[in-house]
Amino acid sequence: MTEQQGSPNPKPKKKNTKAMIIAIVVVVVVIIAAVVVVVEVTKVPTPTPSKDVEFYTWWATTGKVALDHLAPNFTKATGLTLVPYISPGAGGTNAIYAILSLIEAGKPPATFQVHYGPAMISYDEAAPNGISSFVSMNSAAYSLNMVNNSFPEALEAGEFNGLMESMPVNLHQGAQLFFNPTLLKKEGLPEPTNLSLLISDTEALHSKGIYAWIIPGGDGGWDQLNVWEDVFLSLAGGKMYDEFMYGTLNTSNPAVVNLFKETNNIYSLFQNDSYPGEESMTWTEAIPVLTGGTVAFQVNGNWYTNYAYDFLNVTNYPATAPYDNNITVANYTNPYPVTYHGANISLMSMDFPGTSKYFVEVVDSVAVPVGPTQANGMTFAKYFASYAGQLIWTKWKAVTFYNNITTDYFNTPAQWASYQQALADESNASAWVYQLSDGGLAAGPLEAADTAMSTFSESFTASSGSAAYSAASSVLIKLMDSVISSENATWQAANRLGLGYMGSPGHPFGNYLPYWANTSANRTSSGPVVPYSLSSVSSGVVYYNLSPISLLYLQNFISAQVSKFSSAW
Most confident listed range (56-70, 353-367, 546-560): 353-367
CB 113 within 8 A of CB 365: yes
Q: Given this model, what pLDDT does residue 110 score? A: 81
pLDDT at 331: 53
Q: What is the DSSP letter of 557?
A: H
pLDDT at 411: 97
Q: Provide the pairing of β-strand 339-340 with 343-344.
A: antiparallel
Question: 1-19, pLDDT tens digit by residue?
Answer: 433 334 334 444 444 544 4
Rounded to an integer, the average pLDDT of 231-236 is 98
- Mean pLDDT to the nearest integer, 377-395: 96
On the question of pLDDT at 270 being above 50, the answer is yes
Taking each helix axis as running N to C, give the angle between helix 254-272 and helix 466-496, from 0 to 180 degrees, rounded to the nearest 10.
120
Q: Which of 536, 486, 504 is nearest to 125 (CA)?
A: 486
Where helices occur in 458-544 by DSSP H, the ranges are 466-496, 520-523
Confidence (pLDDT) at 50: 74
pLDDT at 547 over 50: no
What's the CA gap between 147 and 128, in Å, rounded? 30
Range picked from 201-215, 458-472, 524-538 for highest mean pLDDT: 201-215
What percentage of the chain has pLDDT greater than the value 70?
A: 81
For every residue of 63-84, DSSP letters joined together read HHHHHHHHHHHHHHHHS-EEEE
| pLDDT confidence tier of residue 43, bands split at 50, 70 and 90 | very low
Q: For residue 90, is pLDDT > 90?
A: no
The pLDDT, as a whole number, for residue 545 is 31
Statement: residue 557 has pLDDT above 80: no
- Domain definitions of the chain by residue range: 18-48+533-569
Residue 59 pLDDT grade (very low, low, confident, very high; cuts 50, 70, 90): confident
pLDDT at position 21 over 70 = no
Residue 16's pLDDT is what? 52
**For residue 39, pLDDT beyond 80:** no
Once rounded to an integer, what is the mean pLDDT over residues 259-273? 96
Q: How confident is the model at residue 452 (pLDDT cuts 50, 70, 90)?
A: very high
pLDDT band of 525, cuts 50, 70, 90: low
Write b or e for each residue in 329-356: b if 16 or more Cβ atoms lie within 10 A of its Cβ, otherwise e: ebeeeeeebbeeeeeebbbbbbbbbbbe
Q: What is the pLDDT of residue 5?
A: 39
If you average pLDDT over residues 492-513, what whole number do you get?
92
**Claim: this prediction has a pTM higher than 0.75:** yes
Give 490's Cβ-side CA count (13 Å radius). 26
The more confident residue out of 416 and 120 is 416
Q: What is the pLDDT at residue 501?
A: 95
- Please report the pLDDT score of residue 228 as a whole number: 98
Least confident of 141-150, 320-329, 514-523, 534-543: 534-543
| Count of beta carbons in the 10 Å neighbourhood of residue 23 | 11
**Minimum mean pLDDT range among 322-336, 406-420, 464-478:** 322-336
Question: Averaged over 81-95, what is the pLDDT?
Answer: 76
Residue 41 in this model has a pLDDT that exceeds 60? no
Q: Minimal CA–CA distance to 231: which of 191, 284, 194?
A: 194
Mean pLDDT of the 502-519 span:
93
